[in-house]
Structure 1
């Protein structure tokens, strides 16, 4: 999950706010962790910014220590563990987690634009993006047209054979590849569905006819598989989303500002985007963060500085003014206090 950027981006905010920091890189990308350590060691003395080993044992040792602040990006379950460890010292935390981010396409949407932007947002980094559209809800009236456009758009962006595309990456490791491979049989393949274990390649894939209890609909996919769920009434989508954990992102495609406003007002998510995907995270003027199961706290831009800062209220009282009415005894002073309070 972008192990370099997700380490450096919050670190910039921490440094800007005047902090020393310990960076614990992702163990899912060990070579990136080594490169990150070399980079930071060249720029900072260890007593200011230190980089630890990437293994989980190091994380457990770190969580036993007392910090002023902990910032964690990762999965929901380990996020709970981090928060529990932080609570022992009453250490505040920011948790950037993930979840099931819905993408809804209504019957009045621009289907070609929706297809292009959904393909880009979903298959960016081979679907290994915390704010990627996790499942697609499409109005039954336009389901066939939209899925056709999406399959065509996959070919347009990545070619007839995405495995040969220089713009299409690979699954991060064999463990995640095996996890994703097991999901390919949980529905009817509309396009894609091919894979190569030796290359850790998995094609951009659309699936339909998904069983409701499938992990595709209960767990974060974090890969290039997009389940398609038809709907007949937009309130069915709202109910489906609200019956589940709050998502990190929500995407809605419609030409109607009224419909867009209705969707935003009747759902909750960390962030949202109308008629596009992912771009809400790229605006440095907007805070980025989750809510509920998808995380707590926010960063990006000035929000990163605020996250790693403590607002300390300070009053410097003059020694030359002696407002005696604030000291007891208060007899005959109440009327003056009341005038001052008006």
Structure 2
């Protein structure tokens, strides 16, 4: 594929200075918001076509979040884009120092299939706010959403500013060979490594939003009915196809049986006695991923669920698992929850810390000492106390991973910062021009220098 002409058009548009105008940026965001509102039914229909998402879930987890992000940027963009005055050392007197945020230029945003609207548009909002031109590459696994995004953005923004490229691996590879000024990728760890390797060829900076096995820790003092409800909410959202979904449950052994029963009750409360027949239960994206999930059911006892029908897999709880079981070796990305007991908090923390750093961690405990210990001693991207998932809905909280779960962050101001380079500028006065730094050097100058720089 040949994307050089596209890149040339976008670079020419960027050089014109149009995207540097704050008023134009804000108008672009308003146009996107208005067009999203006008096309709401089309976007929700695309989500249902690709993933079987109910309209309520589609709005709650995708369209509503994007609209809130747009309004947040419109409210704060003037302040974020302003030059920031910082102190100037005495050695530079007379002068003043400022930090000036500027856009990188032409950026590439590669989005996944699991939240195809949200995970395409949220980083794009940051790119536009910061003044960049962007190429958006949605996932080919969600073709209805990919096409809807292309039509949405073509209707409200010039293609020289934002272009949507559809297609699969060939298009991905061809785009990665282009010398973008920044790459923002959301997806698997394996593909993230490849993206970083390709970016390194052009010394292109990257943000990688990856995944991993995000644990839930439940101690005996927790509010168990509340924990069960919120764990099942987080696990069944999008049928578990969520990068921050609870991936496995570590529960204090003394309450394991009670919590397991409560989890089963909540599954029934959410989806009835036959979840696979519920019209609001999303399906697995394709047969390949469905077969992968079926293969993960080996190596433990299925407490409930495990059945497959019409592209869906029933909510499944598993226990009696060995730490080497297949389901403990990779991110599940489906509605299966392994349950592992622990006897001491140290044992649970050691289990987590010996594995790659997770994108999210969730702790259910009312003990402030336990809360402090877990939050300060375990490394993870972000998470919740006594809830799951919802930390990523706040535009005030940066969202991102650490270690193998990713690098960089976005949402709210963090999105603006991610797509901005901070240009440091020292503005000197012309008088007085102190002779200390100039030749010829002398002992007197040396003594003065050491008094100023010490």
Q: Scaled by the length of structure 1, what TM-score is found?
A: 0.96
Displacement of 1:341? 4.7
Displacement of 1:212? 2.8
1:179 match? 292
Out of 295, 301, 306, the residue aligned to residue 193 of structure 1 is: 306
Are 2:208 and 1:95 aligned? yes
1:251 match? 362
Check the 8 A contact 2:290/2:311 in 1, yes or no.
yes
Q: Deviations over 1:167-214 (max 9, x none)?
A: 321111111111112223432121222220xx2121111011123322
2:329 match? 218
Are 2:191 and 1:78 aligned? yes
Q: Deviations over 1:151-182 (max 9, x none)?
A: 00111122222233343211111111111122
Are 2:409 and 1:298 aligned? yes
**d(CA) in 2 for partners of 1:211 and 1:337?**
66
Out of 172, 176, 181, the residue aligned to residue 68 of structure 1 is: 181
2:220 match? 107
**d(CA) in 2 for partners of 1:340 and 1:328?**
17
**d(CA) in 2 for partners of 1:234 and 1:317?**
57
Are 2:349 and 1:238 aligned? yes
Displacement of 1:320? 3.8
SS of residue in 2 equivalent to 1:10: helix
Check the 8 A contact 2:176/2:198 in 1, yes or no.
yes
Out of 259, 265, 279, the residue aligned to residue 146 of structure 1 is: 259
SS of residue in 2 equivalent to 1:78: helix
Displacement of 1:28? 1.6
Check the 8 A contact 2:222/2:365 in 1, yes or no.
yes
SS of residue in 2 equivalent to 1:120: helix
SS of residue in 2 equivalent to 1:310: strand
Are 2:288 and 1:288 aligned? no
Displacement of 1:312? 0.7
Are 2:310 and 1:310 aligned? no
**d(CA) in 1 for partners of 2:268 and 2:166?**
40
Further displaced range: 322-331 or 20-29: 322-331
Further displaced range: 220-229 or 266-275: 266-275
Q: Give matches, 1:36-55, under 5 Å.
A: 36-55=149-168
Check the 8 A contact 2:300/2:325 in 1, yes or no.
no
2:32 match? none
**d(CA) in 2 for partners of 1:82 and 1:30?**
22
**d(CA) in 2 for partners of 1:340 and 1:230?**
61
Displacement of 1:274? 1.1
Further displaced range: 272-281 or 327-336: 327-336
Which sections of structure 1, spanning at least 5 residues, go unmatched? none
**d(CA) in 1 for partners of 2:167 and 2:246?**
28
1:126 match? 239
How many equivalent residue pairs? 340
Q: Deviations over 1:29-69 (max 9, x none)?
A: 11111111111111121111111123011110111111111
2:250 match? 137
1:17 match? 130
Q: Deviations over 1:256-315 (max 9, x none)?
A: 010011111221111121111011111111111111111111111100000000011112
1:333 match? 445
Displacement of 1:326? 2.5
Check the 8 A contact 2:272/2:278 in 1, yes or no.
yes
1:203 match? 314
Check the 8 A contact 2:298/2:325 in 1, yes or no.
no
SS of residue in 2 equivalent to 1:41: helix
Out of 93, 116, 141, the residue aligned to residue 229 of structure 2 is: 116
Displacement of 1:318? 2.2
